[in-house]
């Protein structure tokens, strides 16, 4: 039957959209998956050599399986409503926190640190905890919106303030500020730092940014930073965690910049040196796919230094495009945040985007010798299991929030904070 409007027959496809999330992210993510496939395929020979007896085809097949599982994970979270995430946030966080704590008692040691569970496949629980921390913090900051711009978050450190007269006030600050809002940040950092210093620092930094976005008093944020910095100094002073490993990495980093070039031949080249050589050899257009030389020299070309390896094969121009893609992810997160009518959804999007982009930034800086080695891989590209699945879950949640914003179904439950609608529709 023809319609009156120009006699055109409307197509069913014009009425149905299979993907209603952020369209730009819907393009960026497949590009990153394709890049991951290419660079991991180029590095499987080194990986097979490192794991004697393992067939390179088996390694690559495993990577493709993890990529496929990650895409399914992303799709699953794409359909999860924000209200469900809001409800399960405390349970998810408690489970992930104890799961991470348990790795020190039941996990496998890697490079002197207990980081993994071995279930026949490896699981790194700290990756789960990073996502769960952002999820819970988004809920707590949403719940506290009525008072957070006025309340104190940490009690006084002056012992005289804890006298009989002010004790009730300080206890109230401790309960409603420190415990209700700051505890997830502190607890997560405390349980992660023993095995992975840079991940603990990453969680703390994202927590601080989320506090700022949620309108916490700047004085309280600075006070919290100083308290944690003092605790960190004490922790380092007693040699806690992997302080010696971090110290060694910092020393190597400083030496790489301060040692005269003509004397570097007297010491063995480090992974950072090989990474810089790889970038130099790559030049503007790269040496070509599968033609890398430095992949055989770098300890973990498929994970810790995959960016330098990528630049060697595909060139600096492609490397800059890759950097732009990650920056674009954060730009889209900001755009989605501006369209949110519910603070929980907005904070969750920005927190997860910060987790992905800041981890990528650390990886870029390490690969170009602008920062000491951290062991942070490149999200959704580096070879790995738990990290890739958690990154996929985070991107799935971001896409889910964008879908609900577009459908105008992201509405706060009764009693939670609503954001002021932007001047323009999303």
Q: Which residues of 6-41 are buried (b: 16+ CB within 10 A; e: fewer)?
A: eeeeeeeeeeeeeeebbeebeebbeebbebbebbbb
Do residues 334 and 25 lie in contact, with contact meaning Cβ atoms separated by under 8 Å? no
Residue 424 inside a domain? The answer is no
Domain-embedded: residue 426? no
pLDDT of residue 54: 53
**DSSP summary character for residue 342:** B
Q: Are 84 and 110 in contact (CB under 8 A)?
A: no
The tokens describing 41, both together, are 């395929």
**Per-residue pLDDT at 94:** 97
Phi and psi for 108 in degrees, rounded to 5?
-95, 140
Relative to beta strand 108-110, strand 122-123 is unpaired
- Residue 267 has a pLDDT of 62
If DSSP codes are grouped into helix, strand and coil, which group holds residue 217? coil
What's the order of all strands across the beta sheet hosting 122-123?
Answer: 108-110, 113-118, 122-123
- Is 108 in a helix, a strand, or coil? strand
Residue 118 pairs with which residues in a beta bridge?
122
Location of structure tokens 């002197």: 112
Inside any domain, residue 413: no
Judge whether 89 lies within some domain.
Answer: no
Q: How much of the chain is helix, strand and coil, in % rounded to 5?
A: 65, 5, 30
pLDDT of residue 249: 60
Say how far apart CA 423 and CA 426 lie, in whole Å. Answer: 9
Question: Residue 202 is part of which domain span?
Answer: 20-80+130-406
Contact 373, 271 (CB under 8 A): yes
Residue 306 pLDDT: 87
Q: Which residues, other chains included, contact 339 with Cβ-Cβ below 8 Å and sequence gap of 6+?
A: 402, 405, 422, 425, 426
Least Cα distance to 43 among 370, 294, 356 occurs for 294
Flag whether 98 is in a domain: no
User: HSE-up of 354 (CA within 13 Å, CB side)?
Assistant: 25
* Tens place of pLDDT per residue across the chain (426 aa): 444 444 444 444 444 456 788 999 999 999 999 999 988 888 776 655 555 445 667 778 888 999 999 999 999 999 999 999 999 999 999 999 999 999 988 877 665 555 788 787 788 999 999 999 999 999 999 999 888 988 888 887 777 777 767 778 888 888 888 888 999 999 999 999 887 888 999 999 999 999 999 999 999 999 999 999 998 888 777 766 555 555 566 666 566 556 665 555 556 777 778 888 888 888 899 988 878 777 777 777 777 888 988 899 999 999 999 999 999 999 999 999 999 989 999 999 999 999 999 999 999 998 888 877 777 889 999 887 889 999 999 999 999 999 999 999 888 877 665 665 444 444
Query: Does 164 reside within a domain?
Result: yes
Q: Which helix (H) or strand (E) covers residue 354, if one does?
A: helix 343-367
Q: Is residue 135 part of a domain?
A: yes
Q: Let me know: does 389 contact 73? Beta carbons within 8 Å.
A: yes
Q: Indicate the number of domains in the chain.
A: 1
3-state secondary structure of 155: coil
Q: How many CB atoms lie within 10 A of CB 233?
A: 9
Supply the pLDDT for residue 421.
Answer: 46
**Residue at 417 is within a domain:** no
Q: Residue 387 burial by CB count (10 A; 0-12/13-18/19+): exposed, middle or buried?
A: buried
DSSP string, 360-424: HHHHHHHHTTSS-------TTTSS-SHHHHHHHHHHHHHHHHHHHHHTT---PPTTSPBPPPPSS
pLDDT of residue 233: 85
| Per-residue pLDDT, 91 | 97
Token digits of residue 308: 């330098």
């Amino acid at each position: 039957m023809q319609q009156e409007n120009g006699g055109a027959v409307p197509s069913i496809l014009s009425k149905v959209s299979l993907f209603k999330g952020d369209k730009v992210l819907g393009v960026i993510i497949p590009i990153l998956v394709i890049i991951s496939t290419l660079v991991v395929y180029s590095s499987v020979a080194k990986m097979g050599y490192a794991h004697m007896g393992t067939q390179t085809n088996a390694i690559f097949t495993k990577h493709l399986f993890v990529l496929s599982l990650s895409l399914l994970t992303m799709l699953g979270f794409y359909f999860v409503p924000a209200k469900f995430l809001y409800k399960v946030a405390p349970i998810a966080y408690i489970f992930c926190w104890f799961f991470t704590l348990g790795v020190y008692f039941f996990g496998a040691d890697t490079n002197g640190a207990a980081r993994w569970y071995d279930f026949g496949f490896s699981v790194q629980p700290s990756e789960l905890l990073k996502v769960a921390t952002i999820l819970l913090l988004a809920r707590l900051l949403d719940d506290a919106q009525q008072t957070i711009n006025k309340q104190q978050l940490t009690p006084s450190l002056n012992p005289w303030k804890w006298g009989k007269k002010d004790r009730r006030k300080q206890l109230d600050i401790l309960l409603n500020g420190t415990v209700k809002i700051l505890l997830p940040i502190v607890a997560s950092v405390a349980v992660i730092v023993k095995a992975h210093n840079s991940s603990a620092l990453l969680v703390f930094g994202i927590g601080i940014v989320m506090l700022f976005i949620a309108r916490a008093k700047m004085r309280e944020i600075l006070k919290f930073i100083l308290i944690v910095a003092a605790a960190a100094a004490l922790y380092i002073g007693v040699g806690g965690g992997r302080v010696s490993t971090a110290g060694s990495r910092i020393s190597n980093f400083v030496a790489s910049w301060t040692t005269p070039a003509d004397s570097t031949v007297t010491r063995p080249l480090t992974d950072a040196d090989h990474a810089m050589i790889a970038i130099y050899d790559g030049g503007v257009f790269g040496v070509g796919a599968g033609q890398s030389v430095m992949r055989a020299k770098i300890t973990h070309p498929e994970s810790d230094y995959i960016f330098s390896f990528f630049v060697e094969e595909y060139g600096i121009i492609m490397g800059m495009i890759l950097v732009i893609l990650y920056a674009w992810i954060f730009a889209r997160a900001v755009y989605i945040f501006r369209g949110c009518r519910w603070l929980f959804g907005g904070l969750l999007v920005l927190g997860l985007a910060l987790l992905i982009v800041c981890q990528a930034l650390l990886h870029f800086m390490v690969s170009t010798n602008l920062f000491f080695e951290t062991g942070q891989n490149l999200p959704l590209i580096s070879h790995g299991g738990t990290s890739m699945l958690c990154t996929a879950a985070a991107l799935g949640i971001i896409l889910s929030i964008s879908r609900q914003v577009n459908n105008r179904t992201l509405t706060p439950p009764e009693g939670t904070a609503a954001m002021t609608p932007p001047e323009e529709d999303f």
